[in-house]
Structure 1
Amino acid sequence: MTREWTTKTFKSGNSVAMRLPKALGIAEGDEVVIVPHADGSLSIWKDSDTKKVFLSLYGSMSPGFMSEGRGDIEQDDYDWDGPSDRPAVA
């Protein structure tokens, strides 16, 4: 099991801040990504680890994930061979 830490938030200027234990391996000046979830939880990782975090999601979705489509957005099929109003990339 992974070690667990508890910390308290505090006010820093007009922001809310928290101190992170050195053992987490986050150094001063490191950029981090914070993702809030609908249930109120947060995911936090170093920005430099974004690719590793993204790849770790592979296979974590249930077999029926999105089997009936998104449901919230209807989109027409895209004509990949048709004209584009986007400029060509050099």
Structure 2
Amino acid sequence: MNAPRKSRTFKSGNSVALRLPKSLGIEAGVEMTVREEKGRFIVEPVAAEPRKIDLTGIAGSIPWLKPLTSEDREFEERELDWEGKLLKRE
């Protein structure tokens, strides 16, 4: 476990702020959660949401690509051969 570091709170507008030492490796602008637990304050980074890929910029460059129709999205239910019983063996 890392050695504890000291920091002092300060007034920032109508809030009380805490400056975290750079040596902690926390980047500026990281969203954090703060909660009180048995008289102690726990500060943790918010879990990042999975990023989505934006394809709107390339959609015009592939005109043959069309969204699936509801009929194309349907598929036939079938039993899967998890044990390999239907494999042809010689």
TM-score category by the smaller chain? 0.3 to 0.5
Larger Rg over CA atoms:
2
